[in-house]
Every structure is written in structure tokens, then in C-alpha cells.
Amino acid sequence: MMDARYEGRAADHRVHALRLAQELVALCSDCSVTVATAESCTAGMVASTIAGVPGASDVLRGGAVTYVNEVKHDLLGVSQDVLDSVGAVSFACACQMAEGARHVFGSSLAVSITGFAGPGGGTAEDPVGTVYIGIASRDGSRAERCHFEGDRDDVRAAACRRACECLLSAAHELQVSGTLSFSFFGE
């Protein structure tokens, strides 16, 4: 699990996320990479951050806010078995959400976010602040588990920031090697 130790609060995370989105749009425009999002606890924050950058229309194919399991299943194709067995806040769900967004929007890359932003929710294994971030490309999908401190707004903004970091790393890796090894997840 990545235990995120970002300094600052929600406003700081939003500034960093916007800078990352600016780099992402510039890089993806240069190498003809497109992106899509599937968001649960961030409810469109990543897509909105990317869309706030001039030129985003060349890069951002679309985004889905899939706050409830039924929509995760019906729109993105997340397996009912995954939702019933390991739940929506899991590696498997994050991977399937990213894969589904990539398929629905026809993008080169897709990012997904699912987690417990608080103040309610959470489990002993995945307490409030736990977020799974998935990335999908033609080379497959992978997810990481993060834990962010702070209130609901802080957790959501930190998750958005980390998702933008992952997308930027994935786009850079695609530009350099043409394939995605997911090395940015640093396992």
C-alpha cells in the first residue's frame, strides 16, 4: 500500500493536480495519447481537473462518475462477482473500472478511483482514507492501494492528485517505450 504523505490540504492538492494535468495534456497532445476516467469517491474531480487545461479536448475522451455499484456494473462492466466478493473498494474493482472506461471511451489510457473518503464507510482492512487507483492500457491494467489522511475533501483532492500523477507517469512510459509496464506503481 502506498501511504501517501502529501504535505498540505485539499487546496494544495488541487494546485498540484492542475500542474500535473497541464503536463499530461501537453505530453498526450505531443504523442497522440488519449485518456478517460472512471471515478467513484472523487465524483469527476480528475476529469474536471484535466478538462480545465486548454487543449484538453485533444486528450480527454470522457469520464464516468460511477458512485453506485449498479452503475459500475452496468456502465463499466465491473463483474457482479467482484462487487459481491471483494467489494467496490478493491484492486479488482479499480482494474475493471479502468478497463471499462478505456473500452467505453476508446482511449489509450484510463484511470479509475474508488475508495472511502469518509467520514463514514471503511472497514478494518480498508479504513476511511483508503483509495484504490487503477490504470488501464492496451497492455492490461493494474491498481494501487493508497491511504490519505485528512477530512473528506482532503482525501478526495489527494486521490485526484495521485491519479493525475499515475496518468502522467503512464503517458510518459507509453511515449518512451510504446508499452506500459506499470513501473510507476513501484511494487
The pairing of beta strand 109-115 with beta strand 130-137: antiparallel
Burial (0-12, 13-18, 19+ Cβ within 10 Å), 113 = buried
Residue 3 pLDDT more than 70? no
If phi over 0 gives left and psi between -120 and 50 gives alpha, with beta otherwise, what is residue 117? alpha
Domains in the chain: ranges and CATH: 2-177 (3.90.950.20)
* Nearest alpha carbon to residue 128 among 106, 108, 144, 150: 150
Cis peptide before 127 (omega within 30 of 0): no
* Per-residue pLDDT band at 136 (split at 50, 70, 90): very high
- Residue 88's pLDDT is 99
Tell me the per-residue pLDDT of 52-91, one tens digit each, with 9 for 90 and over: 999 999 999 999 999 999 999 999 999 999 999 999 999 9
Beta-carbon-side half-sphere exposure of residue 150 (alpha carbons within 13 Å): 21
The answer to pTM > 0.75 is yes
pLDDT in the model for residue 6? 60
Percent of the chain having pLDDT more than 70?
A: 95
Non-local (6+) Cβ contacts of 108 within 8 A are 28, 32, 33, 34, 35, 102, 137, 138, 174
Predicted pLDDT of residue 7: 53
185: left (phi over 0), alpha (psi -120 to 50) or beta: alpha
pLDDT at 2 over 80: no
